[in-house]
Amino acid sequence: MNIGDNPFRRQTISLGTITPSANIVVERITTAILADFPQVSGHYSRVSVVGSKDSYSGDYDWRGMLDAAVLLGHARPDVILWNGSKGGSIGFDADRDLCARIKALTGRQATTSTLGVEGFFKRDGVKRFGLVTPYAKAYQDKIVEVYGREGYACAAEAHAGRTDNFSYCEIPDSEIAAMVAHVASAKPDSIITYCTNFPAAPLVADLEQRYGVPIYDSVSIGVREALVLAGVDPSPGRRWGSAFTR
């Protein structure tokens, strides 16, 4: 290697990501997406989310979340992303508050996967959406209610009935595709594959072509929004779906 040609110095932009502790999908998908963005590096912190019981079911574990953000802030990322979908079950305002607190503590811009989905809903004029998740019905109902309060009607939903946080990553591609097919039959304005330990992102581009409807995956949308917030053109990531082309 020639002096001055160190590939580890070439990245000029960095993204910091907070992910739930039992989640193995976020880092894998983020790393895969960032392979299309050689100027961007990814860095990670975790907050405790494990098993089937949520000790903070109606709110965030604010100390855990903000401690994770502060640790990421030490690495001076351009953006800090909460790549978790909990805001969809407790309210979008919780995610807006989270971003404001992260910025106040770290001086870094912040966003979340849920706010990324909301941004596309607003830009696209979505009124009716399809919801695909790994969750049990009770949790699914919370998401439908929260989105409804924000003005978005769930035209159709499908869920895998899982409750353990780790198990969400084990749902096979065939089951994810079948759930998307089910909600696509209701002709929604868009579909969201919603859970950041849900391995739907690699299927999005093909399923969009098959059903002719935009599909927003919570993991890849979170990464896309962080890239844009950092001033990066998202189009090199087009293989991850139509969201990266605009």
Within the chain, which residue ranges are assigned CATH 3.40.50.1860? 116-217
Q: How many angstroms separate the Cα of 26 from the Cα of each of 30, 42, 52, 57, 142?
A: 6, 11, 19, 21, 23
221 pLDDT higher than 60: yes
Per-chain mean pLDDT for the chain: 94
- Overall average pLDDT of the 17-37 stretch: 97
Angle at 211 (CA atoms; ends 209, 212), nearest 5 degrees: 65
pLDDT per position as a tens digit, 77-103: 999 999 999 999 999 999 999 999 999
pLDDT score, position 6: 65
Fold of 116-217: Rossmann fold (3.40.50)
Q: Confirm if 73 and 106 have CB atoms less than 8 A apart.
A: yes
5 pLDDT higher than 70: no
Amino acid identity for residue 216 in this structure: Y
pTM of the model: 0.94
pLDDT per position as a tens digit, 110-164: 999 999 999 999 999 999 999 999 999 999 999 999 999 999 999 999 999 999 9
Fold of 7-113+220-241: Rossmann fold (3.40.50)
What values do phi and psi take at 21, rounded to 5?
-65, -30
CA 15 to chain centre: 14
1 pLDDT higher than 60: no
Q: In angstroms, rounded to a whole number, what is the distance separating the alpha carbons of residues 209 and 211?
A: 6
Within the chain, which residue ranges are assigned CATH 3.40.50.12500? 7-113+220-241
Which pLDDT band holds residue 51 (cuts at 50, 70, 90)? confident
